[in-house]
Copies of this chain bind each other. A is one copy, B any other.
Amino acid sequence: MRTNLDCLPCFLRQALEAARMVTQNEGIQRKVLNSVFSILSNVSVHTTPVEIAHLVHLRVKSITGDYDPYKEAKKKQNELALRYESTLSAQIAEMSNPLKAAMMFSAAGNAIDLAPNCPIPDIYKRYMEMISKGFAWDDYELFLKKLARSKSLLYLGDNAGEIVWDKLLIEELLDHFDMEITYAVRGLPILNDVTMEDAHFVGLDKVVKIISNGFDAPGTLLDRCSEEFLKRYKTSDLILSKGQGNYESLSEEQRPVFFLLNVKCPVIAVDIHCNVGDLVLKAQSNHARFHH
C-alpha cells in the first residue's frame, strides 16, 4: 500500500505518543517532533507507510534513548489479556461456530483497549457487540477451503494483548486441522507489536513454533526480513496476516495471504473497500489461484 498524504499528520501523532511513553519532558517531545518534521519533509511518497513508520520510530528511540518505549504498556496489555483468557476461551467454545468466533475475537482484539480497571462483563459486552456485526468483508468460506488443503500456515502476529486471542485462534485451528503452524513476531521492539518476549510471556511458544521476522518495522517489509522468515513466507501453504501494518506491507504481494484485521484508519478503509471500525477477513486479491 502506498503512503497517502493523510498518513503524514498521523506519523507525527504516533511519534508524540511514543515519546510520551518514555518522557514527560516537553522539550524532548518537541525535539522528537521537529526531527520527524525533517524526516517527513524528505521522505518519498512512494515509500510505504510501514517503511516511514520504521524511520520515524527509530528516530524516537534514538532521541529518547529508549529502544522499547512501549515495554510497560505491552506488559500490561499481555497481563490483562491473560486474565480474560479463560473467560473468552469458554465463550468461544459456546458459540455456534467456534473457529469463526475465534477469528473474530482475534480481529477485535486489535480494536479494544484492555483498560486495567475495566470489569470483565464490560470487556465481554464490547467484544460481543463487535462480533455480532460479523465480518464486513467475509472470505471465511474461502479460508476454510484453503485450510483444508494446507499442511502449513504462517501466522503473522501484530500487537501485545491481542496475541492471547491469537493463541485461542491457533488452538482452535490445531483442534480442527492437521497442520503445522508457525507464528512470526517482530525482530526487535516497535510500538506495541509482539516480539519473542511477548510470545514467551503469554505461553504461545508452548503451542506453536515462534520465529522472528528479523526486523523492527510495524509490519512485514520483506526486503528487510531474515532468511529464516522469508523461507517460511515463501514455502507456507497459507499465510494469516494480522492487523493493519502487515496489510499495508503485504497487500500487493503474490502469496496466499488472508488478512485478518480491524480497520482503524480511513486510508486503509479506502484501500480495503471497508469502513473504519469494520472487522475484515480478506483473501489477497493479487493471488489469482484463490479465485478459481
Does chain B have a CB within 8 A of A23?
Answer: no
What 0/1 readout, one digit per residue, does chain A (10-45) give for beta carbons within 8 Å of chain B? 101100100000000010011001100110110001
With beta carbons under 8 angstroms apart, the residue of B9, B26, B38 that contacts A9 is B9
CB distance from A213 to the nearest CB of B (A): 29
CB-CB under 8 A from A16, the residues of chain B are 5-6, 8-9
For the complex, give the distance between the alpha carbons of A33 and B6 in Å.
10
From B8, B26, B30, A33 is in contact (CB under 8 Å) with: B8
Most buried by B among A5, A6, A26: A5
Can you name the residue of chain B whose Cβ is closest to the Cβ of A17?
B6
- A10 to B33 alpha-carbon distance, docked (Å): 13
8 Å CB contact of A30 from B6, B9, B45? B45
When chains A and B are docked, how far (Å) is the Cα of A41 from the Cα of B30?
9
Contacts of A38 in B (CB 8 A): 37, 41
Q: How far is the CA of A10 from the CA of B16 in the complex (A)?
A: 12
Interface 0/1 of A92-126, CB less than 8 Å to B: 00000000000000000000000000000000000
Contact string against B for A residues 32-69, beta-carbon threshold 8 Å, 1 for contact and 0 otherwise: 01100110110001000000000000000000000000
Measured CA separation A13–B4 after assembly (Å): 12
Residues on the B chain within 8 Å of A37, using CB? 37-38, 40-41
| Chain B neighbourhood of A26, CB < 8 A | 5, 45
Residues of B close to A30: CB separation below 8 A: 5, 45
With a cutoff of 8 Å between Cβ atoms, the chain B residues found around residue A33 in the complex are 5, 8, 40
Closest to A36 in B: B37
- How distant is A199 from chain B, measured CB to nearest CB, in Å? 32
CB neighbours (8 Å) of A10 from chain B are 9
> Could you tell me the distance between the alpha carbons of A26 and B5 in the complex, rounded to whole angstroms?
8
Cα A30 to Cα B4 in complex, Å, equals 10
Contact with B along A271-285 (1 / 0, CB 8 A): 000000000000000
Contacts of A5 in B (CB 8 A): 16, 26, 29-30, 33
Say how far A2's CB is from chain B's closest CB, in angstroms: 11
Contacts of A34 in B (CB 8 A): 41
Shortest C-beta distance, A18 to chain B (Å), equals: 13
| Nearest Cβ on chain B to A36's Cβ, whole angstroms | 9
Complex: how many Å from CA A274 to CA B280?
35
7 pairs of residues in contact across A and B, judged by CB atoms under 8 Å: A5-B26, A5-B30, A5-B33, A8-B12, A9-B10, A9-B13, A38-B41
